[in-house]
Amino acid sequence: MTYWSRRLLGALAVLFAVLALNFALFRLMPGDPVTSLVDPRFSPEAKEALSRAYGLDRPLGEQFLLYLKQTVTFDFGLSFVSGRPVWQELRDRLPHTVALSGSALVLAGTMGTALGVAAARRRGGAVERVVLAAGALSFSFPSFFLQLLLLLAFAVLWPLFPLRGSVSVPAPQGAAFIADYLHHLALPVLSLALLGFGSWALYVRNLMVKILGSEPLFLARAKGLPEPVLLWRHAFRTALPPLLTLILLSLPGLLSGAVITETVFSLHGVGRFLLESIQGQDYPAAGGAFYLLALVTVTSNVLADLAYGLADPRIRVDRRKGQ
Amino acid sequence: MIAARELRLRYRTGSRQVTALDGVDVTFGEGMTTAVVGESGSGKSSLVTALLRLLPRGATLSGTITVDGRDITALSERELARSYRWTTVSLVLQGAMNAFTPVLTLGRQIAEVLEIHRGLSRQEALIRSGSLLEETGLPGAWTGRYPHELSGGQKQRAAVAMALACDPLYLLADEPTTALDVITQAEIVILLKSLTKRRGLGLILVTHDLALASAVADRLVVLQEGRVVDEGPTEEILASPGHPHTAALLGALRALEARP
Amino acid sequence: MSLLRRWSPWALLLLALAGLLGPILLGEAEKTVAPPFSRPLWLDRTAPPTVHLHLSPEVREKTLDWIWEPPAGLALKGTYRLPPGTSGKIVWDGPSGPVPLASLTGAGSLSLDGRDIAFRLRLGLSPFQSPLETLFADRGSYRLAYEGPEPEALSVELHLSGGRWGLLGTDQRGRDVFRLFLAGISVSLLIGLAATLLATLVGTSAGLLSGYLGGPVDSLVMRLADLLLALPLLPLLMVLAGLWGRGLWQLVLILGLFSWMGTARTVRSLTLSLREAPFVENLRALGAPTWYILGRHLLPEALPVLLATVTLGVPGAILAEAGLAFLGLSDPRLLSWGRMLHEAHGFGAFTAGAWWILLPPGLGIVFVCLAFLDLGRFLEEKADPRLRETLP
Ligand SMILES: Nc1ncnc2c1ncn2[C@@H]1O[C@H](COP(=O)(O)OP(=O)(O)OP(=O)(O)O)[C@@H](O)[C@H]1O
Ligand SMILES: [Mg+2]
């Protein structure tokens, strides 16, 4: 099997496992599955009809197949709370969550990489101390605490940014809407980036220290190459594939961060939807949101794997085996 | 001529200090092959690093190195990179198998020294890299290959091609043949010898293999515990070792050869 | 021992002690003690503090120096039982002369409030006049006293509500933030340690079996670990907490069962490298059973590394618990730091500008996590001295 087909199969396996887990979570919980999937406030006839729709009167195997079919077609049922299809609710919110996590990832990644490289280049310097401290803090600072502090500082005491929401009410039109949206997004993204860049910088630093001390870099230095060429063309290019792995590894955490961030800042997004669904015991909605978050993670894992393969010639090019 | 005087190299790891070179006085002539022999840990690789002034963190070097009259110890890091490393003295490394940057093609790694030191355009440099590869017996089209696509011996040939790219005056080869099979070892040594001879380069061959050294070197330098204990033309040293350590090394060699 | 020269073990010991003794010495954290969002005592000394004066058969008189504006409210509450046929009174005495607050006869209970009209009338005020202006007309030394015969029982408390209370003020329900903070220590430490221990137990068993047995067991365990690592942890924990319950032990179980993967990987690779060691091969050749080799020889080898892994794993569990509690997915009766922040966020601590509710729980979490990280790094270096060179 080639690298690619192996990775793809792995991703499919994870996806299937997520599906199975989701199925089991909401059906094997304590109590009657009917109450967990059908709103208890419905009339008996409505309950009947709904449990038939979910196949709750059929054997478990058949239920699973039905569930598979529904989930793969994004048919998560109706939300108990709004009565709208869960998928519509999610589709409205997904872009916001992606915008939040995506821009935080880009910002934290850029900051972390720049600082990590700088720290590795000047061992024992001020930048290195900053990186080490930021790294330790990013493993011990609860995201919501930092966010609450930022809110207190920049939304209450010194009101530069809005306290809550994704857009102002009422929302402005046209270009002003985009500006307003970004204004609301700024503090959440900044907080996620502040939390994320430390561990990123620490990782980059450790990786670069190792690479800068390795034999290829010794030879490159013997070649009389200028410092930037050594640093970026040789060292950083070598570090790139594992860095892409780091993206892969940081995505689940980032989504977890998004759930909390959306809650703290009252943003419109999948994470807060999940929380509200769980709190409101809106099980179809919670199941759909969880599945969607897991799906985003699995998809980005596949993409990161792909990027890793493309960045590392040892995987991309394998002529001797005739690929 | 490379002349090193009173070279002293100390490594420091944590609180531990290791003296790798302990007052080395040695000269390497141009256009000839000098072999540096010594047992493992005697400071051979340290001498090579010192000659290129490529010290790891925490290492200190004292003494003087002059290359064709130029005082290398006085040069700044920038000047070393600009006008000394690779243009005057280049290097083939002990573990050349892993010495290439794995994510860049061979062509790129050879061409970059031509672009930087010789001012060639990328296109010219790539073409020149191809002919350098051919000189060492590899197909010129392999400039597009990545290091992992080559065998150990092929990588070592590519390393030799890269070392010759900027027409240096001296070539340092630190155990260029360890981890290769006997036949490939011989091929590489013959390649090094013939290419340096043709171009009139001084070859400094670092090895713990006295048999190999005595077969190819014009002069021998024997290192022991960071000191030069014996130095001179190969035949003279072989005929009358000037130091008990050389004699011991030779004795071991004879014993090996005498084995049926 | 070099361990004793680190700051972290002492810090953790101190915290654990504070967490254990605090509730015993200071009392119930759940109790409302002062108006909501009272500031800490040491802040803004020009505002009147909240004061409780308690009278009992032993202490029948309390004095108080009052140098502020009159307090915002006053309440007198309690129970008493006097000898039959006698009567006594509660007197408020100050620079402008004594004022009887209540007269007591027989046995009964008191519940007077400065807002009660009857109380105001009895003090000779109009129904619209606040008694506080009269009772605190001057600054100076005041005295609350019971006057009368020896009471059989007396427990009367005068509450003067001001804007300041205690070391760290009060929260939105008027609870003492410092007591809540102390109560949070044990929750954090308990959940952090218990969940990590459970995770380590599961991870070690999985890693040992996986590494030693190899084959299908190995691939099954490792694929499962990969799978769990690829899932977004917090959403999963949220769903589980929402579905399975939110009590202390449920949280421990959930956290423990979903964070064993790292330990399993470490232990597995360690086992793999030891499996081929000559002494293990000899044992196998001698016919030693698998569990014996695992338990007596491989586990002790892995122990130092495990100790470091446990310690380094605690911050993750503490942060996860705090995150769930912050989202409101923990038992409301569980007074944890995450819960405090949840309430601070949800009940207007911001608009009240009450940073003293925000900082203690947050800094507490940071501090505990840093302490465990420091300790873990130390143990890691002990277990593997090579790390000293690469780690700063
Ligand atoms: N980077 C370093 N840090 C600390 N000590 C070092 C370092 N490099 C070499 N040494 C020490 O310096 C001494 C000389 O090492 P060197 O590598 O020069 O020996 P060598 O003759 O090349 O040996 P070999 O034949 O095994 O390659 C050894 O004692 C070695 O342990
Ligand atoms: Mg060497």
pLDDT digits (tens, 9 = 90+) for B246-256: 777 777 777 66
Per-residue confidence band for C298, with pLDDT thresholds at 50, 70 and 90: confident
Q: Which atom of ligand 1 is nearest to the CA of B44?
A: 21
Q: Whose CA is nearest to atom 19 of ligand 1?
A: B41
Binding partners of C (≥3 Cβ pairs within 8 A): A, B
Q: Is B20 in the pocket of ligand 1 (CB under 6 A)?
A: yes
Q: Looking at chain C from residue 330 to 389, which residues have their Cβ under 8 Å from any Cβ of chain B?
A: 388-389
**What is the residue-averaged pLDDT of chain C?**
86
Per-residue confidence band for B240, with pLDDT thresholds at 50, 70 and 90: confident
**What pLDDT does residue C308 have?**
87
In a domain, B162, yes or no: yes
- Two tokens, residue C297: 């020889």
What pLDDT, in 10s, does the model give residues C116-165? 888 888 888 888 888 888 888 888 889 999 998 888 889 999 999 888 88
Helix (H, G, I), strand (E, B) or coil at A77: coil
Please report, as a single letter, which amino acid is at residue B25: D
Structural domains of chain A, ranges and CATH numbers in brackets: 86-320 (1.10.3720.10)
CA of C10 vs chain B CAs: smallest distance (Å): 28
**What pLDDT does residue C390 have?**
44
The ipTM estimated for the assembled molecules is 0.92
Q: Looking at chain B from residue 1 to 20, which residues have their Cβ under 8 Å from any Cβ of chain C?
A: 13-14
Bond from prior residue into A170 cis (ω within 30 degrees of 0): yes
Q: Which candidate in A209, A218, A223 is best for mutational testing of the B interface (most B CBs within 10 A)?
A: A223
Q: Is B42 in the pocket of ligand 1 (CB under 6 A)?
A: yes
Asked whether the predicted pLDDT for residue C389 surpasses 50, the reply is: no
In a domain, B4, yes or no: no
As a whole number of Å, the end-to-end CA separation of chain B is: 42
Which of the two residues, B65 and A136, has the higher pLDDT score? B65
Please report, as a single letter, which amino acid is at residue C331: D
In a domain, B131, yes or no: yes
What pLDDT, in 10s, does the model give residues C91-115? 988 888 888 888 888 888 988 888 8
Helix (H, G, I), strand (E, B) or coil at A207: helix
A14 touches C at CB < 8 Å? yes
pTM over 0.95? The answer is no
CATH 2.60.120 segments of chain C: 51-161
Helix (H, G, I), strand (E, B) or coil at C156: strand
- Two tokens, residue B166: 């900027």
* A318 CA distance to ligand 1 middle (Å): 35
Distances (CA, A) of A52 to A66, B165, C171: 11, 78, 49
Task: Please give the average per-residue pLDDT across B54-73, as a whole number.
Answer: 91
Contacting residues of C for A21, CB less than 8 Å apart: 231
**What pLDDT does residue C266 have?**
85
Size of interface A-C (CB pairs under 8 A): 138
Task: Please give the average per-residue pLDDT across C1-28, as a whole number.
Answer: 87
**What pLDDT does residue A218 have?**
93
Please state, for a pLDDT cut of 90, what percent of chain C lies above it.
23
Per-residue confidence band for B136, with pLDDT thresholds at 50, 70 and 90: very high
Reported as type and span, the H/E element at residue C100 is strand C99-105
Which of the two residues, B168 and B258, has the higher pLDDT score? B168
Asked whether the predicted pLDDT for residue C240 surpasses 50, the reply is: yes
Per-residue confidence band for C1, with pLDDT thresholds at 50, 70 and 90: low
- Two tokens, residue A158: 């010194």
In a domain, B77, yes or no: no
**B74-108: string of b/e by CB count within 10 Å (b at 16+)?**
ebeeeebbeebbbbbbbbbbbbbbbbbbbbbbbbb
**What pLDDT does residue C353 have?**
80
Report d(CA C16, CA C372) in Å as an integer: 13
**What pLDDT does residue A1 have?**
58
Q: Is B38 in the pocket of ligand 1 (CB under 6 A)?
A: yes
Q: Is B14 in the pocket of ligand 1 (CB under 6 A)?
A: no
Across the interface, which of A29, A155, A256 has its CB nearest the CB of C233? A256
B240: Cβ–Cβ under 8 A, 6 or more apart, which residues? none
Please judge whether B99 and A218 are an interchain contact, meaning their C-beta atoms are less than 8 angstroms apart. yes
Asked whether the predicted pLDDT for residue C392 surpasses 80, the reply is: no
Across the interface, which of B56, B104, B149 has its CB nearest the CB of A317? B149
Give the total number of structural domains in chain B: 1
Which of the two residues, B182 and A49, has the higher pLDDT score? B182
CATH 1.10.3720.10 segments of chain C: 177-390
Asked whether the predicted pLDDT for residue B12 surpasses 80, the reply is: yes
Which of the two residues, B191 and C129, has the higher pLDDT score? B191
User: Which residues of chain A fall short of a pLDDT of 70?
Assistant: 1, 28-42, 50-51, 53-57, 317-323
Report d(CA A309, CA C356) in Å as an integer: 50
Distances (CA, A) of A106 to A102, A132, A162, C212: 6, 21, 23, 42
Per-residue confidence band for B155, with pLDDT thresholds at 50, 70 and 90: very high
Q: Is B178 in the pocket of ligand 1 (CB under 6 A)?
A: no
**What pLDDT does residue A147 have?**
92
What pLDDT, in 10s, does the model give residues B73-100? 989 999 999 999 999 999 998 765 688 9
Q: Which atom of ligand 1 is nearest to the CA of B16?
A: 4
> Which of A50-54, B57-61, B113-117, C139-143 is predicted least confidently?
A50-54
- Work out the number of other CB atoms within 10 angstroms of the CB of residue C282: 10
As a whole number of Å, the end-to-end CA separation of chain A is: 11
B213: Cβ–Cβ under 8 A, 6 or more apart, which residues? B35, B37, B205, B207, B220, B234
**What pLDDT does residue A321 have?**
44
- Protein fold of C177-390: MetI-like fold (1.10.3720)
Burial of C332 (0-12, 13-18, 19+ CB in 10 A): exposed
Highest mean predicted confidence (pLDDT) among A296-300, B155-159, C265-269: B155-159
CATH class of C51-161: mainly beta
Across the interface, which of A220, A224, A311 has its CB nearest the CB of B82? A224
Please judge whether C322 and A256 are an interchain contact, meaning their C-beta atoms are less than 8 angstroms apart. no
In a domain, B121, yes or no: yes
B214: Cβ–Cβ under 8 A, 6 or more apart, which residues? B35, B220, B234, B238, B253
Full residue range of the structural domain in which residue B114 is found: 89-167
Q: Are A54 and A66 in contact (CB under 8 A)?
A: yes
Mutation test residue for ligand 1: of B10, B36, B46, B229, the one with most atoms within 8 Å of CB: B46
In a domain, B35, yes or no: no
**What pLDDT does residue A17 have?**
84
**What pLDDT does residue A323 have?**
34
Q: Are A160 and A71 in contact (CB under 8 A)?
A: no
* B55 CA distance to ligand 2 middle (Å): 14
